[in-house]
Amino acid sequence: MRTILNLTIEPGYLPPTSPSFTDYKYVDFVKVYDLNNDCNTSLNVCNYNFANHDNRVKKSIIIGNGSCANSLNNDDNIYLRTPEGVTINGDFTVPIGAELYIDVNSCY
């Protein structure tokens, strides 16, 4: 496995009052996690209870069917990961304070 750690700070991105940075950065510790996979299971639901979401990689994800309303809670941190795609139908709300990540990638 090859891991690339990029700590680039783009010129002009920092506010004018930012401290100056040196040409070198030192990293003391990097932790790599393996994703929890459930790649043989598809998720296809109308009204989904995100409080019970396990953040595992699913085969495919379909939430809602036009008449469903789904919403994250204010403090939810939800990852929808699948190699085949994510489809969200109907009303879907991500309130301020909640975080939703959608990643379509291989089931690694």
Could you tell me which residue, 47 or 21, shows the higher pLDDT? 47
Q: Map out the domains of the chain as residue ranges.
A: 37-104
Rounded Cα distance between 97 and 99, Å, is 7
pLDDT, tens only, 43-99: 999 988 888 888 889 999 999 876 788 899 888 999 999 999 999 988 889 999 999
- Sequence-distant (6+) residues with CB within 8 A of 52 are none
Cβ(90)–Cβ(66) under 8 Å? yes
pTM above 0.85, yes or no: no
Question: Which structure tokens are listed for 43?
Answer: 């998720």
Cβ(91)–Cβ(68) under 8 Å? yes
Phi, psi of 38, rounded to the nearest 5 degrees: -140, 55
Could you tell me which residue, 31 or 78, shows the higher pLDDT? 78
